[in-house]
Chain A
Amino acid sequence: MSASLAGIRPRHKIVFETMGTMATLTIASNVDADQASHAAHACEASLAGDDHRFSHYDERSEIMRWMNGAPIGEAARKDIHFVRDQCVLLEIASEGVFSTIDPATGRLDTAGYAKGHAIGKAVQAVRYTGVHDFNINVGGDTFCSGRPDSKRTWSIGVADPSRKRRVVAVLEVCDGAVATSGAAERGSHIWNRRPSSSLLSFTVTGPDIATADAYATIGFAMGESGIDWVGQHEGYSSLAIRGDGVVVSDALGLLAG
């Protein structure tokens, strides 16, 4: 224990503010400080760029300018179109549970997908710097790449929505996303929550962070039946916390598999 714990420290940890929340980049200890610093800059710049691109809170953001008919760059336009199209596909797949239109304004709202999309791009940005063992967490949605050290996989706690600083489960992840949607959600627009849903939170694991994030939003809105809905998609699994505190998950299948 002593040797193994002492051996994996220090890891590189960079905490910064982005998209109205906090982001943490954790890089494995086998990466040297210069490379970690390079990766951190790439990660932060990527997220800052997408904050400027997709923010609905900033009238000068590229998506707001695009919606207002103002000219934007070609790369930005293609990226916004991609996100819009993914939102539409998710709306169809979820039979309208996931909505791309903000009912308050009647305008396009990509917030349910754009944040995960931005995290996915930040993952690529870090990998381009040659770093492959890292974890990015943006406001509670996280992507794990590789391993923190040769002996471990990434351990991601699922927050207990009823008690601060508690977890209800710990997930072991090598390469994949863990995204959670909950009643205390900020910036996630769960318009069409079914009355039957009384969940406190809904966590999805899977290979793609943007998809996992959107599925968490959909699952939370669907209620307990969201577990079956998410499970229809290959590679995705979920864990829900019901209003009565019961934890329901299909993740045991992953254990058994």
Chain B
Amino acid sequence: MGTLARRLAPAAALGGLAIAIVGLLDPALAASRLPARDEMTAMAPTDNAAQQGGATTATCDTAETVTGPIVTTRWGPVQVAATIAGNTLCEAHAVVWPTGERQSRQISTYAVPELDAQATRQGVILDGVSGATYTTEGYRESLQQLVDSL
């Protein structure tokens, strides 16, 4: 994904549905590594829960930190950094967010703290993947299959 644009929805009644985008990831851009932030380093030694649980997957203590591209939204630039181990999103937080305009501040007040709050919320696991319908054959190469294999 080269860039990102988001638009505000008209205030919609959500009912029982609560959805938040916790991170926009671009692992392909792993070349642009972030230096580990203090809190990431601090949590790393205890992040071997998957090993304790007997799983053989990568764990958050071996996770790579990757940054998404700086993307221009109508409110200003947004950039998200994430640490990923296998299919586990260990952490995601905004490293660049809009400032300046009134609209931008409004977004920053709500949206970015929401993204940033994820920095302290550890161990975000993918429970499933939504994508264009695949065949039984296609499932074998899907991320859903990887999630299911854990």
Contacts and interface: CB of A to CB of B under 8 A. Distances in A.
Interface in A163-220: 163-176, 178-188, 201, 203, 205-207
A17 B136 contact: yes
Nearest to A139: B133
B34 interface: no
Contacts of A176: 16-19
Interface in A2-39: 2-6, 9-10, 13, 15, 17, 20-22, 24, 26
B126 A157 contact: yes
B114 interface: yes
A148 B133 CA distance: 24
Given A139-B133, A241-B1, A248 B16 contact: no
A245 interface: yes
Interface in B1-41: 1-28
A175 B27 CA distance: 28
B71 to A, nearest CB: 8
Contacts of B21: 169-171, 239, 249, 251-252, 255
A72 B114 CA distance: 52
A161 B131 contact: yes
B128 A182 contact: no
A176 B11 CA distance: 18
A170 B23 contact: yes
Measured as residues with beta carbon below 8 angstroms from the partner, the interface class of chain A is 35 or more
B12 A172 contact: no
A175 B24 contact: no
A144 B16 CA distance: 11
Given A5-B123, A245-B2, A248-B5, A255 B20 contact: yes
Given A2-B52, A235-B14, A185 B133 contact: yes
B30 to A, nearest CB: 11
B60 interface: yes
Q: Which of B1, B3, B13, B19 has the most CB of A within 10 A?
A: B19
B61 to A, nearest CB: 9
A158 B126 CA distance: 10
Given A22-B136, A168-B25, A180-B130, A1 B20 contact: no
B6 A142 contact: no
A78 B24 CA distance: 43
Interface of A: 1-6, 9-10, 13, 15, 17, 20-22, 24, 26, 115, 135, 137, 139-142, 144, 148, 152-176, 178-188, 201, 203, 205-207, 227, 231, 234-237, 239, 241, 244-257
Interface of B: 1-28, 43, 46-50, 52-53, 55, 60, 87, 89, 92, 106-107, 110-111, 114, 122-136, 138-139, 141-148
5 contacts: A5-B123, A21-B136, A231-B9, A235-B17, A255-B21
Given A141-B133, A169-B25, A252-B21, 11 more contacts: A5-B50, A135-B128, A140-B144, A169-B21, A171-B22, A178-B130, A180-B132, A182-B132, A205-B17, A250-B6, A255-B110
